[in-house]
Structure 1
Amino acid sequence: MGITLNFFVILTEIIFILISSFIFLIDKFIKNKNYAFYITLITLILACYLILFVPFGEFTYAYKADFYSSTLKLFLVCGAILISLISYNYLQYYINLNSGEYYGFLLFSIVGAFLMLSGMDLVTIYLAMELMSFPVYFLIALNYAY
């Protein structure tokens, strides 16, 4: 019984990391900051689709996608969609905040929560908890930076 490297199991997390990195990269070059909101919504809707239709399995011995973790991920994505919709007007009208960074940090926090839900060993869960909490620290500091 060897180590399984089934990349389809972690496809949702890979897409989240790539898109949030893409948001951070192009954030300085685009003046209109509404793009990040729409990219985030499209990513979250794509994540709902992937969570429902990607087969269950393991990625090495540190990550396991099963019915329990997929159900909780689906609730988490629905909550993130609500957070994105509610915070859109708040970021645009009440705070002069760079919304590209906000949505990038939001996606990184969701990746940390996904990894924490599917982690099988203590190191994976600890790293996922750190990945989930660091963007929250940056979001708090982002509010005071502007």
Structure 2
Amino acid sequence: MRTRSVLIYDGDCAFCTSSVMFAERRLRPRCEIIPWQFADLDSLGTTRERAEYELLWITQAGAIHGGAQAVAKLLLHAGRGWAVPGALLTLPPLRWIAHGVYRLVANNREKMPGGTPACALPAGGRPHTHTSSPPSAR
């Protein structure tokens, strides 16, 4: 079993990376944050296809939450006042609305602030797809 939960995001997407950097600065979640391109997805119990499709939150016990529910778990683990909106996002009908908003944003992330046209391409078609180890700054 892991000692911390893990947040997996698309490190080749400028919008996703900007969003995660914001979360690290403002929310300070108690988790490990890794781009899927550098994660051992097999040992985390997930696939590249799923990691390309949505943000993933993997609990210490190995449960996987994707998309809006990954955002909810991130907020819950940030603590302080962030836990309240995180908890609300797990409850219907907000859960359903959050899912719809998440898909809308994820499907249009190249149009979002910080996004680039490369964000719309499948991972294999992006000009800077990571294939080796993470940058030393991480």
- Relative to the length of structure 1, the TM-score reads 0.28
Choose between structure 1 and 2: higher strand proportion.
2
Choose between structure 1 and 2: higher helix proportion.
1
